Structure 1
Amino acid sequence: MGYDALLWLSFGGPEGPDEVMPFLENVTRGRGVPRERLLEVAEHYQHFGGVSPINRLNRAAIAAVEKQLAAEGLDLPVHFGNRNWQPMVEDTVATMKAEGVRRALVFPTSAYGGYSACRQYDEDIERARAAVGEAPDLVKLRQFYDHPLFVAAVADAVRAAHAELGDRPGIRTVFTAHSIPETADRGSGLPTEGGRRYSRQIAEAARLVAAEAGIAEYDVVWQSRSGPPQIPWLEPDIVDHLDVLHAQGVEAVVVSPIGFVSDHLEVIWDLDNEAAERAAEHGMAFARASTPDTDPRFAELVVELIREHLTDAPVRKLSDFPAAGCTLNGAPCAVGCCEPTKRPGR
């Protein structure tokens, strides 16, 4: 059976000051996050006028994909839906149904596995179809952290960031990704399929990018942790790591947010503000590599993933790690894969 649309499924973000708190309440619903913490995060958004760049960047990426689809003679309308803010995925799937879409591919804007990065998109699909009723069949595309086009785009961004710092010795390359609880990371891969573990996928992507960019030494660190201090999360944090590098005598650093395909607010706050400010306090030169969704190869990548379904195009991967995905109507890849973390009292 063929496909007659693509659903671009993302996280979502506010596009004005009045939307910030309702958005954050959507993101944290059911998680018991204190309102004081929400107000603290809301200040980060208000620092940028209450606007996250993610919706704007998604629309630009969608336009690039539509252009690439047309150039390759593929008639596949693209629909945009979010998990946490307008356009909500439930509304988008309802529109798709009204327009007669019967079977669609789904591109989630995450390259990796894990609960929030993968399994929760399955849940988004399932929730949207249940809300609409008699909804289109939705087939989620696979993870792409080790796809040659993704690796090449990130590597070129790292090279460009190095060029910003000029010809100086000893520039340290640091790859960052969103931290998650250690228990969630241990639960994000089946025992026989350890390659699906989020932290291992991040490490593998960093290895591939460093090799492509010709970088022999690099670090993999984490950012944006949001949980209570008594729960261990993946470490070290990027800001703490800058302190360590300074103590080691490192005078310049390039930071690549390899765990993100787009400039979430967490990227521009945690890296362009907090990390950059800490580097400046230490007198360290600092450059942040761009995320790949603005690179023309990103649209090529998405269309190549689509072609795997439309024309049985070969699956291109640079590692032997599993690349989950291709799930139908929210059904998980495997029983027990990427289960949500159980919180105390639940």
Structure 2
Amino acid sequence: MSDQRDPTPYDALLLLSFGGPEGPDEVVPFLENVTRGRGIPAERLKEVGQHYFLFGGVSPINEQNRELLAALRADFAEHGLDLPVHWGNRNWSPYLTDTLREMAKAGHRRIAVLTTSAYASYSGCRQYRENLADALAALEAEGLEPPRVDKLRHYFNHPGFLGPMTDGVLRSLADLPGGVREGARLVFTTHSIPVASADASGPVEEHGDGGAYVREHLEVARLIAGAVRAETGVDHPWDLVYQSRSGPPHVPWLEPDVCDHLEELHGSGTPAAVIIPIGFVSDHMEVLYDLDTEALAKAAELGLPVRRSATVGADPRFAAAVRELLLERAAGERGVPVERCALGSLGPSHDLCPIGCCPARAPRPAAAGADSPYA
């Protein structure tokens, strides 16, 4: 087998995602899993659950993960990569611990992990690593030998992630009325997080206002806007805004909110906008409700023509990017020189999260990092 198809030392890939309910009876238990330890009353969970009940109590994320799982398996088979692909979630079935238990019992000893989060942050990276450590500790307590897990690097600036989103923007612009298309503003959106968490995201030496979280999103927005300009010849102005805030009012979170921003754009005479959810890999609940429901309703109320651009989902180019990231990491683990693909000025992200990267709210072990107890 050639180096281009050799996954050694890995014997499996794990798709690790957030998870979501698949029926009305699962909504509140799912939200209890997500918020465990935060002291949120059941009444509040039922209130938040109304977002899910609007869609029959079903989050689309699990079905989208099944589609991505199928796309990864098809891509691997097409390119002669003989590597099984498994799927586990942090907060709902199939649970991470159950999946890792099955993989360990099947004899998998070295597992590459793809998380459905492209950027650096506590909730988007370290929390997944903490969940991995918890799952490995659970296997150890059961008497199983825990496998080694290596998280694939952040892929926000990989062309296989950027290309599908750029095409989505072009389709959305083409769908706008001709009279407002050229003046449309590009509104890039991602999940708001506490300002303190954003400032602490990424390696210690990179800390600053917004940390790696904001810097990486700004880079993605700049790259997509540049690709759109190259394709259309129009230099659309753009902004980075935020959505889905869930914290108490007295705690500063990243702003502006997407709906507030649409009001500002309308007030300033902007003729149209395209909302681009660059912070999300697929069209899960925060896209369906916060953007397709709330933000588009706000735009309709304002009389502002708005289109919402597509996420990456199970695009074959993204599946190919995952294969490239896995083989790149495998070659590096074997000491084989390899080109690490990344667009823009930030370059490829680190393979191993350094100590102090996206620090935890409280000291907890995390897998797949320089301080991992399971390295």
TMscore range, shorter length: over 0.9
Cα separation, 2, equivalents of 1:37 and 1:224: 16
Cα deviations by residue, 1:175-200 (Å, 9 ceiling, x for unpaired) = 00000000111111344224962111
- For residue 113 of structure 1, report the CA deviation from its aligned partner: 0.3
Q: Which residue of 2 aligns with 1:129?
A: 136
- Aligned-partner SS, 1:192: helix
- Aligned-partner SS, 2:359: coil
- For residue 51 of structure 1, report the CA deviation from its aligned partner: 0.4
Letter aligned with residue 200 of structure 1: R
- For residue 335 of structure 1, report the CA deviation from its aligned partner: 1.8
Q: Which residue of 2 aligns with 1:187?
A: 200
| Alignment coverage as a number of residue pairs | 337
Cα separation, 2, equivalents of 1:58 and 1:189: 26
Cα deviations by residue, 1:261-311 (Å, 9 ceiling, x for unpaired) = 111201110000000000000111121001002322111111111110234
Cα separation, 1, equivalents of 2:348 and 2:37: 30
- For residue 30 of structure 1, report the CA deviation from its aligned partner: 1.1
Q: Which residue of 2 aligns with 1:330?
A: none
Residue 285 (1) aligns with residue 305 (2): yes
Q: How does 1:12-91 map to 2 (within 5 A)?
A: 12-91=19-98
Give RMSD over aligned pairs: 1.6
- For residue 231 of structure 1, report the CA deviation from its aligned partner: 0.4
Q: Which residue of 1 aligns with 2:118?
A: 111
Cα separation, 2, equivalents of 1:35 and 1:9: 27
- For residue 323 of structure 1, report the CA deviation from its aligned partner: 4.7
Residue 253 (1) aligns with residue 273 (2): yes
1:144 equivalent among 155, 161, 164: 155
Cα deviations by residue, 1:15-67 (Å, 9 ceiling, x for unpaired) = 11110000000001112334333122100000000000001001101101101
- For residue 222 of structure 1, report the CA deviation from its aligned partner: 0.0
Q: Which residue of 2 aligns with 1:100?
A: 107
- For residue 235 of structure 1, report the CA deviation from its aligned partner: 0.2
Cα separation, 2, equivalents of 1:326 and 1:190: 12
Cα separation, 1, equivalents of 2:88 and 2:290: 26
Cα separation, 2, equivalents of 1:105 and 1:55: 20
Cα separation, 2, equivalents of 1:157 and 1:289: 5
- Runs of 4+ deviating beyond 3 Å: 310-313, 322-327
- Of 160-169 and 206-215, deviating more is 160-169
Cα separation, 1, equivalents of 2:199 and 2:348: 17
- Aligned-partner SS, 1:50: coil
2:252 equivalent among 232, 257, 280: 232
- Note if contact 2:158-2:342 (Cα within 8 Å) is conserved in structure 1: yes
Cα separation, 2, equivalents of 1:325 and 1:85: 29
| Identity over aligned pairs, percent | 51
Cα separation, 2, equivalents of 1:140 and 1:292: 20
- Aligned-partner SS, 1:293: coil
Relative to 1, partners in 2 of residues 1:224 and 1:316: Cα closer, same or farther, differing over 3 Å? same
- Aligned-partner SS, 1:301: helix
- Aligned-partner SS, 2:254: coil
TM-score (norm. length: structure 1): 0.94
